[in-house]
Chain A
Amino acid sequence: MRLILSCLFFSLISISLFGQVPDSSEEIDSVEQKVKNPESSKVPKSFFIPTGIRLGTDLVALGVNAFGNNRARYEFQADIDFHRIYLIGSYGINTYQISTDEFDYENNGSYYRIGLEADFLKFDPDHNTLTFGLRYARANFSESLNTNLTSPIYGPYQESLHNDAVSARWFEMTTGLRVMVLKNLYMGYTFRIQLNRKIFDSTEFRTYDIPGFGRAEFKNRWTFNYYLTYRIPWKEKQVMERSR
């Protein structure tokens, strides 16, 4: 069921993205939007000097904190531009706890992601971005599990288990959109495919939840963030000129 829903969801996203990309034949025929070999034009070195930093937070995490009972997560993100390449990093803190009749589980830790994104909006001077990127992510956390179980043959028993210094790492493929809604204020999503998760030093029991990743039983999964960011500029952005 999850597979079907996620494939439908991302098919819709991809269709909408395809819809925003002009067809190449139309572009050539268009009188107004004709671009004269932009790929071959050389980008001046001065374009690669960063023009500002964007700082923001994940609104999805704040929504989960407000409306959920089990998780508290705060994530902060920053990106800095080098022409159409963005160096991007995020840091988050996370606590998660769940209680049932059989067990109590608690998880507490932090995570970070760092990577690069390529912006495909070539001529936008306002730093609106449509990006594809790659990330390396790592989480460090501790977790505890207290069980209260009954064996039908051996009777009731309790266990108190701790994984004190667990770490996990994974990679991400991302796509995201940022749109300026007010001067220097941006909103937009990042869709992440999280890949090749590995867990280290989970000694006493199998890790259940990873900060920044989610359920540890999955090696690969996807997630979605919605960011509100503010840009602190120190230099005017230079963009390639369109030929008309």
Chain B
Amino acid sequence: MESIIKKSIVLLLFTIIFACDVDSNCGSINVDYVTFSTVTLNANLEERPKEVRFDSIFSPQTDSIFVLNDTVTISNFSLPLSPAENQTDFYFYYSVNNSGDTVSYGDTIRFTYEKRNRIDSPECGIDMEFIGMDTAFQTFDSLVIVNDTLKRTVNAPNIKLFIF
């Protein structure tokens, strides 16, 4: 009988270790922004980063303008989704240099998604997760959703924009 009690206690102690989860520390892996990468294809149809100069990027859902008259060319950037709605529109005005010629474009993307609220704790507040991100429509030459998971731990861009 003693051995049964001792075995039961050892089993309980092992189980306690599994039952002890870590405390919340207000750190969330969820993010509220979409990351973009602009790419083009070379003669061998290999992807290459494409440097783009954005004149402006804005959303009709906010007065904030994300980029305005930027003189720097970039190929990676991120834009915040609206937590107030299940869709966010972005208007892009940009120019690219093609063999010495500067060509200007204007394109639009509408993202749709589901939101999932989670109470982190009374101190940390609400943690919002964006899931199932998709595009309702878009006017770029080509666009690929590399991954629809908006998390800090994902290194790859969410969206690849193909610009020719």
Task: Give A residues with C-beta under 8 Å from B.
Answer: 1-3, 6-7, 10-11, 14, 17-18, 21-24, 39, 98, 100, 102-103, 105, 120, 122, 130, 132, 145, 147, 149, 151, 153-155, 157, 159, 161, 173, 175, 193-195, 205-206, 208, 217-222
Establish whether residues A103 and B126, one from each chain, have CB atoms under 8 Å apart when the complex forms: yes
Knowing A10-B13, A147-B117 touch, does A220 contact B61 (C-beta < 8 A)? no
Inter-chain contact A98/B62, CB cutoff 8 Å: no
Determine whether the beta carbon of A222 is less than 8 Å from that of B20.
Answer: yes
Given A100-B125, A153-B80, A175-B8, check contact A161 B117 (CB 8 Å).
yes
> Do A154 and B83 contact each other (CB < 8 Å), given the known contacts A102-B126, A147-B117, A149-B126?
yes
Q: Are B62 and A154 in contact (CB under 8 A)?
A: yes
Judged by a CB distance under 8 angstroms, whether B103 is at the interface is no
0/1 interface trace, chain B 113-125, chain A, CB 8 Å (1 if under): 0001111001001
Residues of chain B having any CB pair with chain A under 8 Å: 1-6, 8-9, 11-13, 15-24, 32, 61-62, 64, 80, 82-84, 116-119, 122, 125-126
A6 pairs with B20, CB closer than 8 A: yes
Which residues of the other chain, A, contact B11 by a CB distance below 8 angstroms? Answer: 173
Q: Give bound CA distance, A102 to B118, whole Å.
A: 12
For the complex with contacts A100-B122, A154-B80, A157-B83, 14 further pairs of A-B residues with Cβ separation under 8 Å are: A2-B20, A7-B16, A10-B12, A14-B13, A21-B5, A22-B2, A103-B125, A120-B5, A149-B83, A153-B64, A154-B82, A175-B8, A220-B20, A222-B19
Chain A residues positioned under 8 Å from B19 (CB to CB): 193-195, 220-222
- Are B6 and A220 in touch, CB under 8 angstroms? no
Pairwise interchain contact A151-B82, C-beta atoms closer than 8 A: yes
Q: Is the interface of A mostly helix, strand, loop or mixed?
A: mixed
- Known contacts A14-B9, A221-B21, A205 near B117 by CB under 8 Å: yes
Which residues does chain B contribute within 8 Å of A6, judged by CB atoms? 16, 20
Known A11-B13, A21-B6: A3·B20 in contact at CB below 8 Å: yes
With contact pairs A149-B126, A217-B24 given, residues A154 and B118 touching in the complex (Cβ less than 8 Å): no
Residues of A within 8 A of B2 (CB): 21-24
Smallest CB-CB separation from B118: which chain A residue? A206
**B120: shortest Cβ distance to chain A, in Å?**
8
**Contact partners of B23 in chain A: CB under 8 A:** 1-2
CA distance A205 to B126 in the complex (A): 11
The residue of chain B having its C-beta at the shortest distance from the C-beta of A217 within the complex is B24
Whether B12 contacts A173 by the Cβ 8 Å rule is: yes
Most buried by A among B1, B3, B11, B32: B1
Q: Check if B16 sits within 8 Å of A105, measured CB to CB.
A: no
Q: How far is the CB of A174 from chain B (nearest CB, A)?
A: 9
Chain A residues lying within 8 Å of B116, measured Cβ to Cβ, are: 205-206
How far is it, in angstroms, between the C-alpha of A1 and the C-alpha of B22 when the chains are bound?
8
